[in-house]
Chains A and B, each alone.
Chain A
Amino acid sequence: MNPTLHGILVFLETWWVELTSGIVIVAVVPLVAGYVVLVERKLMADMQARLGPMRVGPHGLLQPIADAVKLLIKEDIIPAESDKLIFWLAPVISMVAALTSMGAIAFGPAFQVARDINIGILFVLGVSSLGFLGIILGGWASNSHYSIIGALRSTAQLVSYETAGGLAIISALLLSGTLKISGIVQAQYEQHVWFVFLAPVAAFIYLVASIAETNRAPFDLPEAESELVAGYMTEYSGFRWALYFLGEYANMIVVGSIATTLFLGGWLRPFPNWKGSGLIPEGIVDAGWDLVPAAFLGLIGVYCLYRAGKQPAKAQTWFMWAVALACFVVAALYAIPALLFAMGIGGVAGSLSVAVLPGLNGAFWFLLKVSGYIYVFMWLRFTLPRYRFDQLMHLGWYILIPLAIVNIFAVGVAMLVVANANWNHGLALTLATILGTVVTLLFAALLVRWHDRRTESASAASMAPDSYAG
């Protein structure tokens, strides 16, 4: 055989999993981001007692595709006085950083682009933080006042909240003792608990910090439309704007994945260690949990069938039938290996289902948790009003960062107690966690009180305007 061709074949044989999952991520994430936007609009409509997009497809199910086509064929405007090179580069940086950082995320025990690298969680954090180079460069290159103010705000906000988020992550890393993504999930399996219950304060700080890092309401000051038109995106339109938008929504998925891996047990199902006891024999519990994804997807399919009959037009009924069919197919993909495994059928089909089942179920639970996290993001967006910039900075520097530092000490002391005192492991860990949380919250309360007093006396002394407030 031709040596070059042989080399290419060897290369493909070694790397085909990575290559395929990389292509899948690049292809699927924009579509998913589009549908996250649709879910967000629908949720907003629901919370404001409206219907949301209803025209394109049944219940607006084709709206993301219509939006994408509109953005693609829109005129591409580049401001005359802008810096062309950087203007072109900035949205690309934003999206490439977000998509690259997904490479190290494990969407289940089997779905990971980069093989389980030793610094997994740091890679995701570091590379996704490069995305805001795109924001700041885009704001500068537009050569517009709104853009540059948005970019400056965004930088200040990201630098502050990345510190708080990073310190919160250290608490979870202390508990797991590794930076490897599979190791973090494994640690939660071995300690019989999700880390959100061992370090609730850290999880909360990370939630707040991740909202600020993704520039979402109530911290969406870089693109505050009532003050800055659209912040750093003011001069962008059409496809470039879409790249920024995709980067932002991909970033939401990234921070959701980080939080899920660190605090919500990654791809583990709820109660992964409970295999049944007493009246319930072993095996039944596992088999039951294995059927949950299929049942969940099947129920969605049934609901689609129910709604199909109520559509106003014939085409929309057919479309709903197609959606229901797709749900049933995916549900069957989940149900068949689970049933084969539960019934203990051997042979090729049996061994194949044993190989496939953990990966499938892991991906289901992981994506379900990430969706839950993103739902919380949207819920907060439609519930809370926007912060003022000085309030945002004070929250970050006076409350979240000291709280995160104290929380690291509290978690460390708790782990030391567990390691040295000869107590029951679970009891000691629970007690130490409660103690650590109480100490941290007390400290936070003191800090807030001290800060309030200070600002009261300061504002009484002089009403100096804050230079960042604008």
Chain B
Amino acid sequence: MLDSILFYFFAGVAVTSAALMVTRRNAIHSAVFLITTLLATAGIFLQLGAEFLFIAQIILYVGGIMVLFIFVIMLVRLDVALQHIRFRMKNLVVTIVIAVLGAEAGAIIYYARKLPGQGLFIQNMAPAEKLAPNSERLAESLFSGYLLPFEIASVLLLVAMVGAVVMAKNKKRTPEES
């Protein structure tokens, strides 16, 4: 019962603030609602017993990426530019996407109700103590089974970072040198 209440609370917050994020005119307000969406999703991760994913979501997305988003919005004054491309129901593409997504969600809810033993109320889960500590499990699979992809991905990220620095530096120097 408590699980269901928590799930529907987090899911409701996530969906509502996602909708608000798309429809707000002010870019900073959109960013704030994106933060609440991310936090609510993190709450669902925690409820599923994926505590490492929960904290990774908070540290990386809310603590890292969203701060850079807000930083850029504040520096660039995006809200002026966004007045022209903001969400409008009249836009045909928007209407089609909403219709398709709504149909999809409706179909999922309709068929989920018919699954045996399932339904819209989620089942009682194993208590957190019985699950294996998943930060250890994640580290194990990352550093044994998937070591090569993991290393390739980190090298890729490093290259991207160095590349970004080099490009930023070059732009600064060219007008002085030429």
**Given known A-B contacts A118-B135, A119-B135, A126-B55, A151 and B74 have beta carbons under 8 A apart:** yes
B74 contacts A130, C-beta separation under 8 Å: no
**A123 at interface by CB-CB < 8 Å:** yes
Task: Report yes or no: B28 in contact with A129, Cβ–Cβ below 8 A.
Answer: no
Bitwise, A4-17 to B at CB < 8 A (1) or not (0) is 00010001000000
Known: A119-B55, A129-B63. A86 touches B32 (CB 8 A): yes
Interface residues on chain A, size class:
20 to 34
Q: Within the complex, what minimum Cβ distance (angstroms) separates A213 from chain B?
A: 12
Inter-chain contact A136/B67, CB cutoff 8 Å: yes
Chain A: CB-nearest residue to B66: A133
Give chain B residues whose Cβ lies under 8 Å from the Cβ of A127: 58
27 A-B contacts, Cβ less than 8 Å apart? A83-B28, A86-B29, A117-B51, A118-B51, A118-B133, A118-B134, A119-B52, A119-B54, A119-B135, A122-B55, A123-B55, A126-B55, A132-B67, A133-B70, A136-B70, A137-B28, A137-B32, A137-B70, A140-B74, A148-B74, A152-B74, A152-B75, A155-B67, A155-B70, A159-B64, A159-B67, A162-B63
| B32, A126: Cβ atoms closer than 8 Å | no
Scoring B63, B66, B75, B176 by chain A CB atoms within 10 A of each residue's CB, the highest score goes to B63
Complex alpha-carbon distance, A133 and B28, angstroms = 12
Asked whether any CB of chain A lies closer than 8 Å to the CB of B44, the reply is no
**Any A CB within 8 A of the CB of B26:** yes
Across the interface, which residues of B come within 8 angstroms of A126, CB to CB?
A: 55, 58-59, 63
Residues of B within 8 A of A122 (CB): 52, 55, 59
10 interchain residue pairs of minimum CB distance: A126-B59, A129-B63, A126-B58, A122-B55, A118-B133, A119-B55, A119-B51, A126-B55, A155-B71, A140-B74
Q: Write the nearest CB–CB distance from B176 to chain A, whole angstroms.
A: 8
Taken together as a complex, chains A and B put the C-alpha atoms of A152 and B70 apart, in Å, by: 10
Contact string, A91-130, partner B, CB cutoff 8 A, digits 1/0?
0000000000000000000000000011100110111011
Note all chain A residues with C-beta closer than 8 A to B62.
130, 133
In the assembled complex, the Cα of A140 lies from the Cα of B29 at a distance in Å of 11
Closest chain B residue to A162, Cβ basis: B63
Tell me the smallest distance from the CB of A390 to a CB of chain B, in Å.
Answer: 15
Q: Which of B70-92 contact A (CB under 8 A)?
A: 70-71, 74-75
0/1 string, A223-249, CB within 8 A of B gives 1: 000000000000000000000000000
Q: A421 within 8 Å of B by Cβ? A: no
Are A179 and B135 in contact, with the CB atoms below 8 A? yes
Q: Does A85 contact B (CB under 8 A)?
A: yes
A89/B32 in contact, CB under 8 A: yes
**Restricting to A127-149, which residues have a CB under 8 Å from any CB of B?**
127, 129-130, 132-133, 136-137, 140-141, 148
Rounded to whole Å, the gap between the CB of A467 and the closest CB of chain B is 10
B51 partner residues in chain A, CB cutoff 8 A: 117-119
> Any chain A CB within 8 A of the CB of B35?
yes
A152 to B63, CA, bound (A): 15
In the complex, chain A residues 146-203 whose Cβ is within 8 Å of any chain B Cβ? 148, 151-152, 155, 158-159, 162, 179
Q: How many Å from the CB of A186 to the closest CB on chain B?
A: 15
The answer to whether A83 and B71 touch (CB under 8 A), given A127-B58, A133-B66, is: no
Interface size of B by Cβ–Cβ distance < 8 Å?
27
Within A5-44, which residues are at the interface with B (CB < 8 Å)? 7, 11
Closest to A180 in B: B133
Smallest Cβ-Cβ distance to A155: which chain B residue: B71
Q: Which residues 40-70 of B have a CB within 8 angstroms of A?
A: 51-52, 54-55, 58-59, 62-64, 66-68, 70
CB-nearest residue of chain A relative to B75? A152
Given contacts A118-B51, A122-B55, A127-B58, whether A140 and B28 have CB atoms under 8 Å apart is yes
Closest Cβ of chain A to B12, distance in Å, is 19
Minimal beta-carbon separation of A131 from chain B (angstroms): 10
With CB as the reference atom, state the residue of chain B lying closest to A132: B67
In the bound assembly, the distance between CA atoms of A236 and B29 in angstroms comes to: 20
- Cβ contact within 8 Å between B58 and A85: no
Q: Smallest distance from the beta carbon of B177 to chain A beta carbons, Å?
A: 12
- A438 to B176 CA separation, bound complex (whole angstroms): 41
In residues 109-151 of chain B, which contact A (Cβ within 8 Å)?
Answer: 133-135
Partner of A125, one of B29, B59, B70: B59
Known A129-B63, A133-B35: A152·B55 in contact at CB below 8 Å: no
Chain A residues near B67: list those with CB within 8 A. 132-133, 136, 155, 158-159
Residues of B with C-beta under 8 A to A118: 51-52, 133-135
Q: Are A136 and B135 in contact (CB under 8 A)?
A: no
Partner of B59, one of A129, A132, A136: A129
Central interface residue in B66, B133, B134, by most chain A CB within 10 Å: B133
Closest to A11 in B: B2
Whole-angstrom distance between the Cβ of A401 and the nearest chain B Cβ: 13
Which among A89, A141, A155 has the highest number of chain B CB atoms within 10 Å? A155
Q: Which of A85, A118, A127, A159 has the most CB of B within 10 A?
A: A118
Q: Which of the listed residues A119, A132, A136 has the most CB atoms from chain B within 10 Å of its own CB? A: A119
CB distance from B97 to the nearest CB of A (A): 28
- Provide the residues of chain A in CB contact with B35, threshold 8 Å: 133
In the complex formed, the residue of A with least CB distance to B68 is A159
Q: Nearest-CB distance from A233 to chain B (Å)?
A: 17
- Cα separation A159 to B66 with both chains bound (whole Å): 12
Cα–Cα distance between A89 and B71 once the two chains are bound (Å) = 18
Whether A130 contacts B58 by the Cβ 8 Å rule is: yes
A370 to chain B, nearest CB (A): 23
Instruction: Give the Cβ gap from A31 to chain B, nearest Cβ, in Å.
Output: 28
Min CB distance A158 to B, Å, is 8
Shortest Cβ distance from B48 into chain A, in angstroms? 14
CA distance A38 to B63 in the complex (A): 32
